[in-house]
């Protein structure tokens, strides 16, 4: 065991683009698990755009991370000492209550229950397709988007961890799926590896025109991770009774002043559309069934996924920033095991 526990704390609330200096590296004592608790040594940190929102001092679906607190995030690690009857040393768990530190104690009363990594499953997948990321795609697409076989489904942020799973679930449901992503590499992955019907590169000219060309019958379901100009473009091409899933809005997360929204919301009336938001934890009672179904799709090769794995605990803030620089294809992870 190391002598110290390195932690990344939230030092300042970012205004505009999050900076590495908004975090502070500190050394602390390795905590000891009390009765009913266990100690986890972190192997992987996982990063999501939504974490940017937790850094802002604003009421939301979960409380903000306090200044001076360990940055919150999903992790996978190994139980190295346990005073909990259900967890043993050597077991791998995914957790939401350790965050950006090398060691953490899990006990009762955390934000989310720890989940054991099943035997034979690569642990990183518990942070991606089989974790909150995949579940977000699953419930957002199926329960909010309600795609029907034959629908045209448009996904923004389609080469990201959530978007890529949503897109492939839509394909499994018999939909014609078009993804929006940035750059030729991501777009090639969407069509050639994930097997989508089309991929639109938002860096190559008008997204509006590209949607018009690739979705001639309009968009039945738009699964949106981006917001802003891409949401506005999609709203111009709704099919009748279209459903718009508000999963995220990364285009605005690092803006000091929230940018204006789409000017064409009245298209919701003209096309009888529905725009709806959700938070994945609303579906907690169905997590296990959904994860089982997702695991089946992954094992059958029907859902493929990518991981962008950086290394070194000292690189946590830098790795987080990759999300907003559009550098990650698939799930953004940081390997901090030896």
- Residues binding a copy of itself (CB under 8 A): 60-61, 227, 231-232, 246-249, 252, 258-279, 282
The closest of 113, 133, 50 to 320, measured between CA atoms, is: 50
Looking up tokens 């579940």 gives 135
Take residue 160 and report the two structure tokens written for it: 């990201």
**Alpha-carbon distance 218 to 181, whole Å?**
19
Nearest distance from C-beta of residue 18 to a copy of itself, angstroms? 17
Nearest distance from C-beta of residue 63 to a copy of itself, angstroms? 12
Closer to a copy of itself by CB, 264 or 337: give it: 264
**Alpha-carbon distance 115 to 123, whole Å?**
11
Closer to a copy of itself by CB, 34 or 61: give it: 61
Nearest distance from C-beta of residue 246 to a copy of itself, angstroms? 5
Closer to a copy of itself by CB, 12 or 60: give it: 60
Q: Is 313 helix (H, G, I), strand (E, B) or coil?
A: helix
Instruction: Judge contact between 240 and 271, C-beta under 8 A.
Output: yes
Take residue 239 and report the two structure tokens written for it: 């099919």
Closer to a copy of itself by CB, 244 or 336: give it: 244
Nearest distance from C-beta of residue 163 to a copy of itself, angstroms? 15
Closer to a copy of itself by CB, 98 or 242: give it: 242
Long-range contacts of 208-216 (CB under 8 A, 24+ apart): 208/233, 208/236, 208/237, 211/154, 211/178, 211/236, 211/237, 212/236, 212/237, 214/178, 215/152, 215/154, 215/178
Closer to a copy of itself by CB, 134 or 249: give it: 249
Nearest distance from C-beta of residue 9 to a copy of itself, angstroms? 25
Nearest distance from C-beta of residue 256 to a copy of itself, angstroms? 12
Closer to a copy of itself by CB, 16 or 260: give it: 260
Would the CA dihedral through 142, 161, 215, 189 be positive or negative? negative
Phi, psi of 23 (to 5 degrees): -115, 160
Nearest distance from C-beta of residue 271 to a copy of itself, angstroms? 7
State the DSSP H helix or E strand holding residue 163, giving kind and residue range, or none if neither: helix 161-172
Take residue 292 and report the two structure tokens written for it: 């089982």
Nearest distance from C-beta of residue 228 to a copy of itself, angstroms? 10
State the DSSP H helix or E strand holding residue 269, giving kind and residue range, or none if neither: helix 267-270
Contacts of 72 (CB under 8 A, 6+ apart): 51, 54, 65, 96, 99, 100, 111
The closest of 195, 157, 160 to 176, measured between CA atoms, is: 195
Closer to a copy of itself by CB, 34 or 266: give it: 266
Nearest distance from C-beta of residue 4 to a copy of itself, angstroms? 37
């Amino acid at each position: 065991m190391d002598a110290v526990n390195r932690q990344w704390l939230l030092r300042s609330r970012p205004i505009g683009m999050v900076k590495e200096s908004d975090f502070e590296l500190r050394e602390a004592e390795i905590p000891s698990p009390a009765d009913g608790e266990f100690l986890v040594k972190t192997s992987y940190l996982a990063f999501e755009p939504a974490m940017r929102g937790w850094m802002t001092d604003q009421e939301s679906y979960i409380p903000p991370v306090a200044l001076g607190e360990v940055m919150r995030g999903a992790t996978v690690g190994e139980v190295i000492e346990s005073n909990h009857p259900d967890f043993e040393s050597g077991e791998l768990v995914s957790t939401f209550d350790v965050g950006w530190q090398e060691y953490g104690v899990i006990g009762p009363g955390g934000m989310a229950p720890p989940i054991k990594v099943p035997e034979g499953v690569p642990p990183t997948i518990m942070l991606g397709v089989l974790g909150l990321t995949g579940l977000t795609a699953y419930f957002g697409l199926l329960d909010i988007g309600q795609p029907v076989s034959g629908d045209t489904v448009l996904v923004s942020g389609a080469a990201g961890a959530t978007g890529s799973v949503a897109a492939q679930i839509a394909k499994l449901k018999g939909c014609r799926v078009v993804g929006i992503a940035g750059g030729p590499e991501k777009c090639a992955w969407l069509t050639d590896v994930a097997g989508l019907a089309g991929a639109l590169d938002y860096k190559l000219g008008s997204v509006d025109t590209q949607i018009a060309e690739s979705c001639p019958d309009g968009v039945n379901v738009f699964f949106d991770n981006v917001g802003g100009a891409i949401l506005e473009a999609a709203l111009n091409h709704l099919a009748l009774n279209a459903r718009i899933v508000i999963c995220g809005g990364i285009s605005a997360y690092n803006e000091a002043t929230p940018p204006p929204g789409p000017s064409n919301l009245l298209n919701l009336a003209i096309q009888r559309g529905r725009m709806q938001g959700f938070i994945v934890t609303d579906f907690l009672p169905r997590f296990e069934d959904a994860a089982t179904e997702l695991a089946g799709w992954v094992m059958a090769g029907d859902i493929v996924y990518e991981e962008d794995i950086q290394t070194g605990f000292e690189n946590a803030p830098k790795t987080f920033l990759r999300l907003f620089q559009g550098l990650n294809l698939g799930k953004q992870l940081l390997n901090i095991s030896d």
